[in-house]
Amino acid sequence: MAGVGPGSSTAVLPEGVALGAASEVAPLRAVLLHRPGEELSRLTPRNNDQLLFDALPWVARAQEEHDAFAAVLRSRGVAVYLLGDLLAETIAHSGAARIQGISAAVSPRRLGLGLAEELSAYLRGRPADELARILTGGMTFDELPGSGSDSASLVRQMHHGGDFAIEPLPNLLFTRDSSFWIGRRFAITSLALAARARESSLTDLIYAHHPMFSGSRRAYESQIAPVEGGDVLLLAPGVVAVGVGERTTPAGAESLARSLFDDGLAHTVLAVPIEQQRAFMHLDTVCTMVDRDAVVMYPSMHDTAVAYTMRADDGGVSVGEARPFLEAAAEAMGIAKLRVIDTGLDPVTAEREQWDDGNNTLALAPGVVVAYNRTVETNKRLIDAGIEVLEIEGGELGSGRGGPRCMSCPLSREF
């Protein structure tokens, strides 16, 4: 398909495909992925915790696994767009995008004014594909231009050569978090942790300047209260669940709700508290939709999850008292009950499979999901419940704590 791979012309949407999404499970038509690259090679035992990885991935194998994931999507008629390709195309197309990307990556506060100006000038002259690689993969002090001219910069002299002048973005693999689509609009999120903060700037400049997104309108953008896309579930048209925990704050959830109400994109937003720990970093690590009326859910959440129901009220927001999440969600969706498929009834199995992203499925259509093949018990339970499971390898991709849903940002679902 034209415009979706390395070396292709500027990406375009397939004929008849329109940007936007209104639910988690409507047939998927186009998706944004990020093929892992140099940024994963930057991970070391010294920095992997800071960069939010639990292990050092075997990069070549992670790329093979990701390519296989993309191939499964394409085999089901999904147009796959790679963020690195779109970024290079955007930079080639727009001088403003080039400046925006460089400004977000080069910090005078960190590098000092002189070195920051020197590096910015150098990057402004790089070819688009090289600049895109630097903005995602980072740059060490050893890789700076004019590495022998250190006398003009104390910062340069005092840093070790392997330190990062521009931080890599290994979590860019998880394209779900920095943006999402709701209705015909896109939302740019504010990521909570410093290691991921710059990801939104790249997504932002792609949506703002790539021709494929020309005319697209924003639904939400906040630089104050954190909201991450992994916490946002489109349960049904007009009904949104937002996890509130380690990454998305109560203020972020309320700010998102106000924006969606103002734009007429939702009538109900459910704020769902989740534990503030790494295993439960987003709502989609414990619950994802697998059919119009069904979710796969971590068993401990089944009876304990609650939701605060937010609705528009005279130009503001009314917030109801906490109620059982499954009950509040079914009512807002206008159905009698949500079917729940547990990730194993045995507590040890359930905990292991939740950690291995058994709950983090990507729906390609109602009753059809992509899941890691290592979550054997969860996948069996999904199949027994009538769900078609397309299994992929995730031994290396999962080292950053994310599954198929985390790694994908739907650009287009059927309405």
pLDDT for 260-316, tens place per residue? 999 999 999 999 999 765 456 789 999 999 999 999 999 888 889 999 999 998 878
Distance CA 390, CA 78 (A): 14
For the question of residue 406 being annotated catalytic, the response is yes
Contact 334, 325 (CB under 8 A): no
Question: What is the percentage of the chain residues whose pLDDT exceeds 70?
Answer: 93
Q: Is the pTM for the entire model greater than 0.85?
A: yes
- CATH 3.75.10.10 location in the chain: 59-81+170-413
- Tokens representing residue 390 in the block: 């397309």
- Whole-number Å distance between alpha carbons of 252 and 329: 20
Beta carbons of 358 and 378 less than 8 angstroms apart:
yes
Residues of the chain with CATH 1.10.3930.10: 84-164
- Annotated catalytic residue, options 244, 406, 409, 411: 406
CB under 8 Å to 205, separation ≥6 — which residues? 87, 90, 94, 97, 100, 101
What ranges in 51-94 are assigned the alpha helix state H? Answer: 59-75, 83-93
Distance (Å, whole) CA 178 – CA 176: 6
**Which of the four CATH numbers 3.75.10.10, 1.10.760.10, 3.40.50.300, 3.40.50.1010 does domain 59-81+170-413 have?**
3.75.10.10
Distance CA 304, CA 396 (A): 32
Q: Say if residue 365's pLDDT is above 90.
A: yes
- Average pLDDT, stretch 319-324? 96
pLDDT at 353: 73
Listed in sequence order, the residues at least 6 apart from 125 whose beta carbon sits closer than 8 Å to its beta carbon are: none
Contact 357, 393 (CB under 8 A): no
Q: For residue 5, what pLDDT is reported?
A: 45
Question: What does the block give as tokens for 290?
Answer: 């697998």
CATH 1.10.3930.10 fits 84-164, yes or no: yes
Whether the predicted pLDDT of 115 surpasses 50: yes
pLDDT digits 0-9 by tens, 63-110: 999 999 999 999 999 999 999 999 999 999 999 999 999 999 999 998
Residue 341 pairs with which residues in a beta bridge? 296
Phi/psi at 388 (nearest 5 deg)? -80, 125
